[in-house]
Structure 1
Amino acid sequence: MMIWLAIPLTVLCYLLTRKLARKVKSPLVNTILLPALAIIALLLLTGQDPADYQAGMRPLSLLLELAVVAFALPLYQQAAKIRRQLGPILLCCSLSVLISVCTTLLIGALVQAQPQLLASIATKSITTPLAMSVSQSMGGIPAIAAGLVIIVGMMGAMIGFPLLRLAGIHHPEAQGLAMGASAHAIGTGAAAEVGTVQGAFASLAMVVCGIATAVLAPPLFHLYLWLMY
């Protein structure tokens, strides 16, 4: 039964949350978080098999690939502005990756976390397919990496812009880069809702940080293992 109800229930939850978000201006009213929690609660209360829900959502899941490709449109629209600032953008994204991976490894060393867990956490700020692939190449657990990516993305979408405004960061390009670098595709979607400039720069940061993480995370992780073990 859940196979046939999966898409209607998901769309209904999304539309209701979106309507609520227009009335209640709160970062907690998130169009990704609330529908996800509602679906999880429904599956638990009714005892339905999550695999049936996943099978029913297969058509929408296939559309995600097209949605990611659509992020190229704001990039094209802002191409001239991006070319003028390409050097600082690449530098900022590379520093973002270094800070993300190194702080993860440093905190892991302080709490004596297992290397397998650290390999799963280190890729938390890039999009899910890349995070799973890179973490697996380092000996991590792809399922944990995917779960953390979703959590980080949701947190970024909810509190990213309020934190940026609180820190006095109002420049649209800077806001976009910060969201794309820290909250990957979910944050990029949130940035696109705020403005086309934020969406374009978030898309760029998501791509650059994904590539930089794939290049930098494995050697940094192996250096950590060599120093600690």
Structure 2
Amino acid sequence: MGQHNISSVAHLIAEPVRSVMLITLSDGCALSASALAEAAGVTAQTASSHLAKLLDGGLLSVESKGRHRYYRLAGAHVSHLLESLASVGPVTPAWRNTPSRSAQALRFARCCYDHLAGQIGVAVTQGMLTRGLIIKAGERHYALTTTGREWLQQLGIDMGDPAFDQPEHARQCLDWTERQYHVAGPLGARLMDAFLAWGWMRRSPTTRSVTITTLGWDGLNQHFGIVREACKAD
């Protein structure tokens, strides 16, 4: 890959509005220009200009359904690139101070592939560490403790799943908005599935954001010591 190609792609991603649009699409969903404009906190005209540049740069693809056009990442390789870049360096002021409710919601609680991320994802992980449900196990990994395994079994999670016997059953994933680790791997995926099944959380139908229900706040407080009043999506 030539220097020109690298610099062109880097320039496209570096612009704050375009980076928000790309991250919003990083779970593989397809969204309209208006939805991406809302996520980035810009006008439809501004969004259209940025989307055209991302299409020309090969980072997005577009499909038409009737009169509507829907944008998605050009492939999984773009999503992997975004997550890698996002984990390097500090979180930009564009995400810390954005007036966009959609962007704030993504930072507060979202799906990161198949597990929970954002402020709530980090808080759940810290709660599990504090309560001895998991421990740090080498570089970039956690491990379930005996207490943690008993706790999961009491909650009805199948501990006969062979995935829990793998060394990487609880991987550390660097949260790109919080700059701290949240739990990923099979454990993170099973927890996310359970939170949804129990009615603690609901996924947005259009973005990666996750809503915490009243039942969920009660459960998060009981099991992880997370208090609703201490959490803010800002």
Same fold (TM over 0.5): no
TM-score for the superposition, normalised by structure 1: 0.30
Structure with more strand by fraction: 2
Structure with more helix by fraction: 1
Q: Larger RCO: Structure 1 or Structure 2 (Cα < 8 Å, ≥ 6 residues apart)? A: 1
TM-score for the superposition, normalised by structure 2: 0.30
